[in-house]
Amino acid sequence: MKLHKNILVLAGAISVAVLACTSGLEEETFSVFDANTLTNPNNGEQAVRGTYAGLKDNGGYGYYAGYLYWLNEYPGDVVTTTLTARQGVQLDQLTYDASNATINDVWTSIYRLISRANESEAIINNIDYVGNGSTEALKRQHLGEVKFLRALAYYDATSLWGDVPLLNKPSSEFTDADENPPLTAQATIEQGMIADLEYAEDNLPASYSATEVARATSGAAKALLGRLYLRRLEWQKAADKLAEVMNKGYDLRTQGEGGIVSLFSRDNRSDNEFIFVLKSSSEPGAYAINSNSFGQNSTPWDYNRGWGNFPLNIQFYSIFSPADARRDLLTGKFTTIYGQIMAIPKQYGGEAESADADTLLATFVYNLKYPHTGNYNYSGFNNVTILRYADVLMMRAEALNEVNGPNQESIDLINQVRNRSGLASYSVGNFASKTELRDAIFEERNKEFFMEGRRRDDLIRWGRAASNGSNPLVKFKEKVVPTLKNASTYSDAVNYALYPYPQNEIQSNTSLDPSVNAGRVRQ
């Protein structure tokens, strides 16, 4: 892999040099910058903002603005797709391979963010903040922000692929060996993530002003570290770290404030339930991020002229109690733009008994967490949730159950989430075993976090916990196979817990060859 040398330019916001190259690892590289001109702490701020912009990457579909959620939601049991979304169909029906464009795109986006974080870290380290009228604390904050973002990128990379190339320095320091980096063991990469997040939690502020809600805080670093420990099945470490996020100013949006439905309002910019978000707006401080793709993709044309590329399986609607406020985030019944009533059939928990001239029977249900206004307004200016407080409560409840079995604190934490949506409380006596409470937690997570990019991770972790680590796909198979158009698509010879490495990367990185995808795609 031949690395090209680009000049890093900062002008109001970090400018990004994008190479005409097919490899994600060399899509964006920086190796030469004039350290003599990057001496102002404001240059550090610009570098940080440019790194945040990598969360959206290349347009309204890039990374956290869209494509990452394709990989995390389509293969699960809730989200399906239309036949017109070819790449989505491959993911949804488990027929993808190394050439899938979305897999390639997310790989590239992740390594762009890692590249930006590495370059920004080098820039910030070379700036004398104190000597230029600022403070060492601000320098450490800036470093904490880019370290947090690098850890988030590697969290996504290791969740999707397991072992991945490790790049943790600016391209100006690359050796010949760095130009074709081999795969690094996931456990090694996770140790680097832990170090980055521990630095971030020690050096990031607890909060920012409301206009800077999208910046990483110490709470965000702790929450992501807790999520990582949970993925590693390090239950006590996860429980302890997640406890540190509690009583730090975060809370659930209450029913009096509009509850779970209003949490996802486009007007809700800085609620205390949001720990870390992709800020998607036209407001100042949006870090060059203007919109996301979820609004138009989440709803169908009949509803508000959306594209309808993220329909949910209609059976999903039936798992909600009518008393559950979260059901109001689904299209149970609505008047179409043509004046007819679209309604969920009674057999799935809806109201419709039969179709007639005025009533259409829904074949899918659609997600309303990412609203847009219709009338061809395809800009989604609502924030995209990456970490929120309800997830912290549910993760700690899960970790405590794995350590102790059914316990009062786990029940209390779950009840906070359930009660907010109008549901009755559980009691410890409702669960006779760790297994029963574990299953209830994951079903509750399914109702709370649908279309927030958590389902694939949850199914795999559920399987690992249920099988003591021996079969991470046991729950994935149980839940996903019934939703496939053809059950034989699922193959026990494929490890669906790991995506294939992108074909573009295999072709351009001489340390990789097609054998790395053995067992990751159907032969």
Q: Tell me the three state secondary structure of residue 271.
A: coil
> Measuring CA to CA, which residue among 68, 159, 79 is closest to residue 480?
79
The confidence score (pLDDT) of residue 304 equals 85
Give the residue carrying structure tokens 């916001």. Answer: 13
Which helix (H) or strand (E) segment holds residue 365: the answer is strand 364-365
Rounded to whole angstroms, how far apart are CA atoms 176 and 25? 14
The confidence score (pLDDT) of residue 381 equals 67
Q: Phi-psi category of 375—alpha, beta or left, where left has phi over 0 and alpha has psi -120 to 50?
A: left
DSSP 174: -
pTM: 0.93
Listed by start position, the domains of the chain span 294-365
CB 500 within 8 A of CB 521: yes
Rounded to whole angstroms, how far apart are CA atoms 327 and 312? 13
Strand-pair partners of 13: 11
CB 333 within 8 A of CB 341: yes
The confidence score (pLDDT) of residue 326 equals 98
Strands 341-343 and 359-361: parallel
Side chain identity at 44, as an amino acid letter? G
- HEC secondary structure over 287-327: CCCCCECHHHHHCCHHHHCCCCCCCEEHHHHHHCCCCCHHH
Rounded to whole angstroms, how far apart are CA atoms 43 and 294? 33
**E strands along 178-308, which residues?**
183-184, 274-278
Structure-token pair, residue 317: 């609607």
The confidence score (pLDDT) of residue 15 equals 38
- Residue 193 burial (C-beta neighbours within 10 Å; 0-12, 13-18, 19+): buried
The confidence score (pLDDT) of residue 372 equals 66
Name 360's Cβ contacts closer than 8 Å, sequence gap at least 6.
336, 340, 341, 342, 343
pLDDT by residue for the chain (523 residues), tens only, comes to 332 233 233 323 343 332 223 345 543 434 344 555 678 999 999 999 999 989 988 666 889 988 999 999 999 999 998 776 778 899 999 999 999 999 999 999 999 999 999 999 999 999 999 999 999 999 999 999 999 999 999 999 999 999 999 999 998 899 888 899 999 999 999 999 999 999 999 999 999 987 787 899 999 999 999 999 999 999 999 999 999 999 899 999 999 999 999 999 877 777 899 999 987 765 555 444 456 778 778 888 899 888 888 899 999 999 999 999 999 999 999 999 999 999 999 999 999 999 998 999 999 999 999 876 555 555 566 788 999 999 999 999 999 999 999 999 999 999 999 999 999 999 999 999 999 999 999 999 999 999 999 999 999 999 999 999 999 999 999 999 999 999 999 999 999 999 999 999 999 999 999 999 999 998 8
Name 6's Cβ contacts closer than 8 Å, sequence gap at least 6.
17, 19, 29, 30, 31, 32
Rounded to whole angstroms, how far apart are CA atoms 382 and 370? 7
